[in-house]
Structure 1
Amino acid sequence: MKEIIVVAGVLYNNDKILLAKRNQNKSLGGKWEFPGGKVEKGETHKRALKRELIEEFGVAFEIGEYIGSNAHEYRDFIIQLHAYKVPCSILDLSSSDHDEVHWVNKAAILSYDLADADIPIVDKL
C-alpha cells in the first residue's frame, strides 16, 4: 500500500486554533483538517509545511515546535502525518485549497468532521 508523508500546521492565535475544510472536489472532500500537505522528495518537514502554507494562504509563517505524528490507513493509502505548532497573528485568512476556515477553541475541535488522520493530533495539543 502506498505511504504518503504529510505535514500539518496547527495554526494558533491565543486560545483559538485554525481548522480548514477540504474542497469538495478533492480526496476527503468536506472533511476538516489542520492545513498542510505532502512532503516532496528532498524536503524537510518544516520546509514542506512552510511551502504548503504559502501555497494555501499566501503567507510565510514561522514553523514552531513539533507536536507529534501518527499513521492512518485509508482504503488505498497510508498517511504518515507530522504536525507542528504555527503561531499566527492574522485572523482574517482565506485558503485557495479549502472551502472554509474557522478559528475554534480546542474543546470544539472534535465537534467538526475531521479527517481521520488529524484526530489523534487533537489529543497532543
Structure 2
Amino acid sequence: MIDVVAGIIWKDGRILLARRGKQKHLAGKWEFPGGKIELGESAEIALERELKEELSIQTRTEDFFDLNIHHYSSVSIKLQAYNSAYISGEICLSDHDKIEWVEIQDLLKYDFAEADIPLVYKLMQKFGYKDIN
C-alpha cells in the first residue's frame, strides 16, 4: 500500500486539475495533484512539498476532505485528500502535461484516474449536485 496525498486546490471558486503526463502510470488521466508521502512526513507537509516540486506553486493545506483506498492491478494506494488554498507561484509542469481550473459542475467532463473518482462524486454532492451517477 502506497500512501499518497492529493490537493483540492481552490482559486477564484475553481479547482485545479492536472493531467498525468505520457511518461507516467495512468497517462492521460486527470487527477487532483499531489504525490507520495515520504517516511516521517505528515500528509499536510507532503502535499505542500509535492505541489511545490511538481507544479512550482505554494499552497496552504487546509482541512481534510476524504480518504479513498483504491486497488489498481499493479498497486494499491491510500489516497488522502485535503482542501488546499493556492497562495502563489506560476504553474510549471513537470509530471503533468496539462492543467485546468474547473468549476464544480464541470468535473464530470474529465476522465479521472480511478482513485480520484470517489473524491469527485463527494465534492459534487457537497455542493448540491445530487444526480451525478
In 2 relative to 1, CA 40–91 (structure 1 residues): closer, same or farther, beyond 3 Å? closer
In 2 relative to 1, CA 90–106 (structure 1 residues): closer, same or farther, beyond 3 Å? farther
Larger displacement relative to structure 2 (8-17 or 67-76): 8-17
Distance (whole Å) between structure 2 residues aligned to residue 91 and residue 120 of structure 1 = 29
Judge conservation of contact 2:26–2:113 (CA < 8 Å) in 1. yes
**Pairwise CA RMSD of aligned residues?**
1.5
**Residue number in structure 2 paired with 1:93:** 91
Amino acid at match of 1:60: Q
TM norm structure 1: 0.91
Q: How many pairs align?
A: 123
**Residue number in structure 2 paired with 1:29:** 27
**Residue number in structure 2 paired with 1:14:** 12
Judge conservation of contact 2:59–2:88 (CA < 8 Å) in 1. no
Distance (whole Å) between structure 1 residues aligned to residue 117 and residue 90 of structure 2 = 25
Q: Which has the higher contact order (CA 8 A, sep 6+)?
A: 1
In 2 relative to 1, CA 28–86 (structure 1 residues): closer, same or farther, beyond 3 Å? same
Residue 54 of structure 1 deviates from its aligned partner by 0.7
TM norm structure 2: 0.86
Gaps of 5+ in 1: none
Larger displacement relative to structure 2 (22-31 or 82-91): 82-91
**Residue number in structure 2 paired with 1:113:** 111
In 2 relative to 1, CA 75–81 (structure 1 residues): closer, same or farther, beyond 3 Å? same
Gaps of 5+ in 2: 124-133
**Residue number in structure 2 paired with 1:44:** 42
